[in-house]
Amino acid sequence: MSLPVHLVPSLDGVAPGARVVVDGDEAHHAVAVRRMRVGERLVLTDGAGTSVVGEVAGVGKRRLEVTAAEVSHHPRPEPDVVVVQALPKGDRGELAVEVLTEIGVATVVPWAASRSVAVWKGERAEKSLSRWRATAREAAKQARRTWHPSVVPMATTAEVVDLVAGADLAVVLHEATDAPLSALAVPATGRVVVVVGPEGGLTDDEVVAFTDAGAHAVLLGAEVLRTSTAGVAAVAALLSRTPRWG
């Protein structure tokens, strides 16, 4: 059985034998929900490439002390995958973030596309972004990722164009093209950007803006996927042709 994973702000300088303190909500979850007890083993990660396998040395109401036994440092996975996710309706945004995190995406960019049904403004934008980030955090722990993804604030179309222009490979999922995703060469390193449109589809202006910036408009296949699942299908197809999944 896999050891439980908990997130801590930093593991800088931690070596075998060191004592690591976990507090707040993360400690509460370990002690009150998972009922971790002294002597049990678990994994700590800082979400930035370092993980610790250790043994619980002490517990409190919102405090957990762990003695480090093994410390591992992992390089950042290559290529770096960024998914620009148009805002979906309902809770499909959290579903998209969850599966994208599980598959290894490095950055999720919420995007206010022209035809997005959902609208993020004011307090709603803050709450929605917080939910996406919480979903990514929990999914990363479940997937046992040592590098956790970042969910950045909502982007405009102009900002997405800049992301596309700076990518080593950028693709836009578009049902009106006959260019297959499978025909593209995928770089082993660098940054790959995948743009996923909303339920209502991309506008012609959006497609032109992205392709003018260097993106490839591609088709996944004959089936029409939901916006919440199209991104994970595209990323899986791309990663399958890189050393990460090779």
The two counts, helices (H) then strands (E), for the chain are: 6, 11
Could you tell me what percent of the chain has a pLDDT over 90? 89
What 3-state class would DSSP assign to 44?
Answer: strand
d(CA 17, CA 65): 12
* Residue 52: predicted pLDDT: 97
Could you tell me what percent of the chain has a pLDDT over 70? 100
d(CA 51, CA 10): 10
* Residue 53: predicted pLDDT: 97
Residue type, 46: D
* Residue 185: predicted pLDDT: 94
| 1 confidence band (pLDDT: 50, 70, 90) | low
Which range (181-185, 190-194, 206-210) has the least confidence?
A: 181-185
Residue type, 216: H
62 close to 21: Cβ distance less than 8 angstroms: no
| 222 confidence band (pLDDT: 50, 70, 90) | confident
As a whole number, mean pLDDT of residues 20-24 equals 93
Burial of 12 (0-12, 13-18, 19+ CB in 10 A): exposed
Q: pLDDT (tens digit, 9 = 90+) per residue, 120-138?
A: 999 999 999 999 999 999 9
As a whole number, mean pLDDT of residues 169-195 equals 95
Q: C-alpha distances in angstroms, 173 versus 41, 78, 107, 235?
A: 44, 22, 17, 11
Q: Using the structure block, give the residue that is written with the tokens 């940054």.
A: 191
* Residue 68: predicted pLDDT: 97
* Residue 121: predicted pLDDT: 92
* Residue 2: predicted pLDDT: 86
Token pair belonging to 9? 């702000």
Please indicate, yes or no, whether the overall pTM of this predicted structure exceeds 0.85.
yes
Map out the domains of the chain with their CATH numbers: 5-73 (2.40.240.20), 80-239 (3.40.1280.10)
First-residue to last-residue Cα distance in the chain: 26
Helix axes 122-142, 92-103, angle to 10 degrees: 40
Q: pLDDT (tens digit, 9 = 90+) per residue, 58-114?
A: 998 899 999 999 999 999 999 999 999 999 988 999 999 999 999 999 999 999 999
